[in-house]
Structures are given as structure tokens and as C-alpha cells.
Amino acid sequence: NCDKYEPLYFERTPYFGDEVRTDGFWYHVSYSQYDWMSDWMNLYFLYRDGTFLMASAPHTTDPNEVTIDSISHQGYDYNNQRHWGLFKVEDGILQRTEWFWPGPGSGKALLYNYVIINDTCIKREGEDEYYYFYPFEYKPDSTIARQWIP
């Protein structure tokens, strides 16, 4: 593997709060501007250990249609470091740090801030981008991320 990964912006710390929910996924609907490309949902699974898994649900904009199979085979690679990151919550802001990954040689650390509106809605700072919570029973296990994020 030739990718070089920068250190993330902060270290992993367990999340014990109740400002945001962790018993499902957070989603944002992305609408395609092209006829040949379908709309999809960006998904984030937050874990109490302070990690998150980034995934997507192609071909749907309805969280009721998301299944573990629809994301595990199309939207993410659970065994890939690039799909994992860290989050923390402080003073009404959810911070998320992850690695940039558009292609080989990537691995630059990125930091995003989200204003917590309530425990089921957050808004990315400086953007008109809202994420909503959806309860989901079948969260993938986060222990695999410890090989990249101690």
C-alpha cells in the first residue's frame, strides 16, 4: 500500500453524551446533476468509542430502503482505512476528522464541523448541508477500526 496517511486532527475518545444519537446512521441526500447518475445518500455510523464509519446508499434517497446489504456491497469497504474516522462533540458542535481519499497517494487529514440542532439533526458549518438521524439496528462492528485508529 503506497498511501501515506496523515495523523487525524484529534485522538479517539469515547463518546458518553446524548447530544447526538448513535443507535443508527446519519444521512444526507445527494442529488445528481447528471441524467446518467442516480441520487444517493451519504451515511455516517457514529460509535460510542468515538469512531465513525462513512458509507453510502446508492440509488435511493429514502432511509427506509437502506439495508445492511445495500451498503455493505455497494457503498463502502468496511476493511478500508479510508472509510473510518473520528468524531467528538464539544459546545454544541460535532467535529469529524477523516482521511481524504480520491485516489492513490491520498491520505490527507480533513476536519469538518457540524452545528447540532437537536439529537436527530445536524448542519455542516458554512454549508446548506443537513444530516438527519435514522434508527438502524444492523450497525457494522467498529472494532476493526482500531488497527488504524488506536
* pLDDT tens by residue, 16-56: 999 999 999 999 988 766 665 667 788 899 999 999 998 87
Average pLDDT of the chain? 85
Which of the residue ranges 37-46, 63-72, 91-100 would you say has the lowest mean pLDDT?
63-72
CA quadruple 122, 124, 72, 39: dihedral positive or negative?
A: positive
The model scores a pTM over 0.75:
yes
3-state helix, strand, coil in the chain (%, to 5): 10, 35, 50
